[in-house]
Amino acid sequence: MLPQEIIRKKRDGFELSEENIAEFITGVTKSAVTEAQISAFTMAVFFRGMSFPERVALTRAMTHSGTVLDWGDFGPVLDKHSTGGVGDKVSLMLAPMVAACGGYVPMISGRGLGHTGGTLDKMQAIPGYNATPDLMTLRDVVKKTGCAIIGQTSDLAPADQRIYAVRDVTATVESIPLICASILSKKIAAGLQGLVMDVKLGTGAFMENLNDATDLAETIVKIAGGAGLPTAAILTDMNEVLGLTAGNAIEVQEAVEYLTGTHREHRLHEITKALVGQMLVLGKLAATPEEGAAKAQEALDSGKAAEKFQEMVSALGGPHDFLTQSLKYLDKAPLTVPFKAARSGVIAGEKTRAIGLAVVDLGGGRRKTSDVVDMGVGISGFLPVGTKVQAGDTIALIHAKDEADAARAAKTLEEAIEIADTAPPARPLIHARVM
């Protein structure tokens, strides 16, 4: 069937057969399907949705569009995936923490999508770091260090690479069938033995309400289980920037400070420990999530997690003294401008998606697939929701390439950060768990 006929079938609300989906994905992989046709297909799925059999078929087709790794008796081979948020640098700490606890983490990460930052972009802020090694190098690094945070190689789920890039710039990111297929095709192709999903919920997430986030979590767990990949999901809060920074190089610096114990922001720390704890349970390295979280803390306190991070960076071509000299290596924006409170009161809330888009506008993300990311720009020093401030207090720092960009970001922050007379009700960091 011609690609346009498959698109038409989905556009008109009909269910695609497994053969239809396999044929379309084969065309994507072999470049017989154009970017315009991918865009039309993803938009049709966005509006028409997919049945459970269609979702399974799409995941399977994308998984088998390239190599599927087999680690044999090597393991436990584990991973975590986030649905995306603002300031979400959890993976940078989590992978070496799990490795320090005896797990092996071949983390296939992605670029930024829409308003959310991408783990792959963050790692590429490290000079010399090879984020797209061949599969032999990936195996060697994981075996040697316990973890490797990389992007998709041309071997693993290549169909997803093309579809992912198109979704980023065509407003088709927030589709549960496409999210599930994108995530799971990469993870199943990586040969995992356990996966923990960090499903973000709130103003900075693709799923803003509990029902949608729960639907996504349950769908991923169900599809993954059907494919033989034990999976659990944790719904975590994304109603404000996670940690103190949003950008690429500045998030890497925050991760370094976290691993070395210089500073660990409370929300970031608790969510990271919870995710590590659940991963260790799936890998049979801990009996309960609580025991796993305690082991995660031990990995930090002993310095083993920081050592694993440095080993990974070095093994993939980064500086051998990055952990101690990160500020020397990371890009810095030419201009840093304080953003100050316009009035006294309490920081009552954040329109977190708008903050993420402000980082993209500064150059820290992409408007189109060919854009080159500016690693040095972003926003740092966020005061958490609930903090009392006086008029004129600095509540964030804008890192920009020029004054015009900084002024636009400041205007966005004026509208995105709410200062009120009273503190908002406390929100849970973890909203639910799905097993």
- Of the ranges 110-119, 174-183, 204-213, 247-256, the best mean pLDDT one: 247-256
Burial of 228 (0-12, 13-18, 19+ CB in 10 A): exposed
- Residue with token string 């420990």: 273
Q: Tell me the two tokens of residue 136.
A: 């032999």
Residues 26 and 95 in one domain: no
Burial (CB < 10 A; 0-12, 13-18, 19+), residue 285, is: buried
Coil, helix or strand at residue 383: coil
Q: What is the mean pLDDT of residues 332-336?
A: 98
Q: Where are the alpha helices (DSSP H) in 146-203?
A: 158-168, 176-189
| Bridge partners, 417 (sequence order) | 350
What pLDDT is stored for residue 263 in this prediction?
Answer: 96
Q: How far apart are CA 317 and CA 78, in angstroms?
A: 23
CATH number at residue 193: 3.40.1030.10
- Both 164 and 98 in a single domain? yes
Q: Do both 98 and 208 map to the same domain?
A: yes
The answer to whether residue 206 is domain-embedded is yes
pLDDT at 7: 98
Last residue of a domain, one of 327, 344, 365: 327
Amino acid residing at 412? T
- Bridge partner residues of 109 (DSSP): 151
* Position 279 in a domain: yes
Is position 64 within any domain?
no
Q: Show which of 295, 327, 359 is a domain's final residue.
A: 327
Instruction: Find out whether 96 and 316 touch, Cβ atoms under 8 Å.
Output: no
The total of structural domains in the chain comes to 3
- The answer to whether position 61 is within a domain reads no
Is there a domain that residue 415 lies in?
yes
Residue 398's H or E segment, with its range, is: strand 394-400
In a domain, 426, yes or no: no
The helix or strand, by DSSP H or E, that contains position 236, with its residue range, turns out to be strand 231-237
Q: Is the pLDDT of residue 41 over 80?
A: yes
Token couple for 197: 């999903």
Instruction: Quickly count: other Cβ atoms within 10 Å of residue 273's Cβ.
Output: 24
Based on the domain organization, do 338 and 323 belong to the same domain?
no
- 196: enclosing H helix or E strand: strand 194-201
Between CA 321 and CA 401 the distance in angstroms is 27
Q: Does any domain span residue 43?
A: yes
Residue 36 belongs to domain with CATH number: 1.20.970.10
Q: Indicate if 172 and 311 belong to the same structural domain.
A: yes
Asked if 113 and 168 touch (Cβ cutoff 8 Å), the reply is yes
320 and 346 in a single domain? The answer is: no
Beta strand pairing call for 388-389 and 345-350 = antiparallel
**Cβ atoms 261, 251 nearer than 8 A:** no
Catalytic site positions: 79-82, 119, 167, 182, 186-187
In whole angstroms, give the CA distance from residue 189 to residue 129: 23
**What confidence tens digit (pLDDT) does each residue in 311-327 have?**
999 999 999 999 999 99
The confidence score (pLDDT) of residue 165 equals: 87
Number of neighbours of residue 334 by Cβ within 10 angstroms: 11
Confidence band (pLDDT; 50, 70, 90) for 1?
Answer: confident
Q: What range defines the domain where residue 362 resides? A: 332-420
What tokens does 149 get?
Answer: 């945070």
Identify whether residues 222 and 260 lie together within a single domain: yes
Q: Are residues 39 and 88 in the same domain?
A: no
200: tokens are 């973000």
- What DSSP character marks residue 113? B
158-170: average pLDDT: 90
Separation between Cα atoms, residue 381 and residue 272, nearest integer Å: 19
Q: What is the pLDDT of residues 103-157, one digit of tens each?
A: 999 998 877 666 777 899 999 999 999 999 998 999 999 999 999 999 877 788 9
The answer on 274 and 238 residing in a single domain is yes
- pLDDT one-digit tens code per residue, 230-288: 999 999 999 999 999 999 999 999 999 999 999 999 999 999 999 999 999 999 999 99
CATH value at residue 374? 3.90.1170.30
3-state secondary structure at position 111: coil
Q: What pLDDT was estimated at residue 174?
A: 82
Would you give the distance in Å from CA 265 to the centre of its chain? 18
Distances (CA, A) of 407 to 376, 412, 424, 426: 17, 9, 28, 32
| One domain for residues 318 and 336 | no
| Cis peptide upstream of residue 76 (ω within 30 degrees of 0) | yes
Q: Are residues 322 and 350 in the same domain?
A: no
Kindly state the tokens that stand for 239: 């109603």
Alpha-carbon distance 363 to 399, whole Å? 10
Q: In what order do the strands lie in the sheet with 378-380?
A: 245-247, 378-380, 394-400, 335-340
- Could you tell me if residue 71 is inside a domain? no
pLDDT band at 66 (very low <50, low <70, confident <90, very high): very high
Residues 8 and 148 in one domain: no
This prediction has a pTM of 0.88
